[in-house]
Structures are given as C-alpha cells and as structure tokens.
Chains A and B, each alone.
Chain A
Amino acid sequence: MFPVICSSLLIGLPAATQIYSLQYIQMEKKKETITESAGRQQKKKIERQEEKLKNNNRDLSMVRMKSMFAIGFCFTALMGMFNSIFDGRVVAKLPFTPLSYIQGLSHRNLLGDDTTDCSFIFLYILCTMSIRQNIQKILGLAPSRAATKQAGGFLGPPPPSGKFS
C-alpha cells in the first residue's frame, strides 16, 4: 500500500520529465551533428536550447521537491506506525549474517545475539528500495534517465552542461 501511495504522489512528475527528456535528447542530437566549422547561428541555437533546458530543469526540480516532501512525510508517518507495531519483534530470518555495520539496522532493538534475526526496519528499507522503484516504473511514474543523469543520479555530481556554453 505504501509504495502505491508514494507512487501516486509522483503524478505531477511524468509530464515535466517527458518535456525535459525530449528537449535533452534533441539537444544531444544537435550537438552530435554540429562540427568545428559550424556557423555562429548554429552555436547560438544550441545555447538557446541549453538555456531552455536549464529552465525546464529548474521547473522539474520544483515539481520533484514537492513530491519528495510528500513522500518523506508519508515515509515518516508510516515508519512511526510500524515502529509501534513491530518494534522489538523478529519479523524474518536471514539466511546469512549481515556485515557488522549493517547489523545495527538488521538487528535493531532485538533481544538475543542471533544476528540472523531481522528487524522490521531492515526489511522496510529493502522494500522501499525495491518494490517502490518497481511500482513507479510499472505505473510509468519514474523519472526519465535524461532527468536522472542531469540531476547527477544517486552518487555523482551533475555532469557539465555542454561544450558550447
């Protein structure tokens, strides 16, 4: 239920990301066809496209921020609810012993020394990472790859904006 609710909170996102993705792809294609000897006009066109792209990127970030706030609020509320129900209870057994720095999460507030006991928080985080992502993709609400690349993805900084700027 929680992933479905969160996915529906991203409903404002697809239109914005579609526009952004199309612009990004068009710009990349134009850059590929441009040569060293291309005139000033072509370069100015590219710069204007990049400017449009930056504006759309800004709008996209605003839409995403609202969705992220709503999702964060839901996440916190549901976490509190599950905490009251499952805190201190073993919800699953793991067929392996997690690494020591993960045991703080997987064995949180559990009695005993059996580190294969799994607390709800560990399973909850794994479900958020897996099931929510997949439901977003199935419903078509996941941000496009172009938008994710421009935002820098999960690990890296944003890529440079273009060779003509």
Chain B
Amino acid sequence: MSGGRRKEEPPQPQLANGALKVSVWSKVLRSDAAWEDKDEFLDVIYWFRQIIAVVLGVIWGVLPLRGFLGIAGFCLINAGVLYLYFSNYLQIDEEEYGGTWELTKEGFMTSFALFMVCIADSYTLGHLDHFLHCHPL
C-alpha cells in the first residue's frame, strides 16, 4: 500500500512549527511524492482543511444553505475529500501517522471554527439589506 513506487527526494527545508515553504506545495498534487517528514504531511492536511473551510463557508453563506444540513455537509465533505486525497490519491500508509482517525482529526476543530466564521460573515454580508432593516444601527 505504501511507498513502493515513491522516488527518493532530497530533504526539503521547512519553516518551524507548521508554516510551509513554497516547495512543499509543489509535492502536494504529485501522487508519487515522498513524505519523509511526517509533520510536513500533517501540516499539508491541516492547511487543506482550512482552505476547504473557507471555500465552503463562503459558498454555503452566499447560497445560502440554512440549518444543520450545511454544517453536516461541511463535516462530510471536509472528512471525505481529505480521506480520498491521502488514502486513494497519495496512497499513504495511515498507520505511519497513527491511523485514519489521527489524520481525520488533524486540524478539524480549527477548520470547523473557521467555517463557522466564514459562513456567518458571508451570510450576513449577503443579506445585509434585510439585516440592517431589522437591526438599524
């Protein structure tokens, strides 16, 4: 399952504690990229989750997608897309990173909070006329 067709790559420099250099992103869409540094890969998962949260938050707020359907949809898409990415596309051995659950929960709560901020802001901005009518400044 893991690493049989992976190329050896020179170690990539990485900024401390979670920030990623531009060179890391060049590996992200390559299914044959080698991930020697586990923290680097976990950071990529983390940032992907934040991007999904912002995109879905804005879209859900603009549509708008009301009720808990939007929140449930976000959770499913967030978990599902990343699972497909690391399991099917990259074919990572999940056990190296502590199992599927560890990869699933990496950055999940932060992305959920970011999603809530984005959906509240975009929904409010999208319905500003009605909002100001009901709550004049």
Q: Is the CB of B18 within 8 A of A96?
A: no
Query: Is the C-beta of B22 less than 8 angstroms from some C-beta in chain A?
Result: no
Report the tally of A-B residue pairs with Cβ distances under 8 A: 83
Interface centre among A96, A126, A140 (most CB of B within 10 A): A96
Smallest beta-carbon distance A153→chain B, Å: 10
Binds A, one of B4-12, B27-35, B59-67, B82-90: B59-67
Bound CA span A142–B43, Å: 12
Please give, as numbers and ranges, the residues of chain B lying within 8 Å of A62 by CB-CB distance: none
Q: Is the CB of B15 within 8 A of A140?
A: yes
Binds B, one of A29-37, A47-55, A69-77, A130-138: A130-138
Q: Is the CB of A118 within 8 A of B120?
A: yes
Please give, as numbers and ranges, the residues of chain B lying within 8 Å of A136 by CB-CB distance: 18
Query: Is the C-beta of A79 less than 8 angstroms from some C-beta in chain B?
Result: no
Please give, as numbers and ranges, the residues of chain B lying within 8 Å of A130 by CB-CB distance: 53, 110-111, 113-114, 116-117
Please give, as numbers and ranges, the residues of chain A lying within 8 Å of B70 by CB-CB distance: 95-96
Smallest beta-carbon distance B25→chain A, Å: 14
Q: Which of B101-137 contact A (CB under 8 A)?
A: 109-111, 113-114, 116-117, 119-121, 123-124, 127, 131, 135
Chain B, Cβ-Cβ closest to A137? B18
Please give, as numbers and ranges, the residues of chain B lying within 8 Å of A131 by CB-CB distance: 114, 117
The 8 A CB mask of B29-68 against A (1 = contact, 0 = none) is: 0000000000100110010001001000000110011111
Q: Is the CB of B124 within 8 A of A92?
A: yes
Can you list 13 A-B pairs with a CB-CB distance of less than 8 A?
Answer: A90-B131, A93-B127, A95-B60, A95-B65, A96-B71, A97-B67, A123-B117, A126-B116, A130-B113, A131-B114, A133-B110, A137-B46, A143-B17
- Give me the interface of B with A, judged by CB distance under 8 Å: 15-19, 39, 42-43, 46, 50, 53, 60-61, 64-68, 70-71, 109-111, 113-114, 116-117, 119-121, 123-124, 127, 131, 135
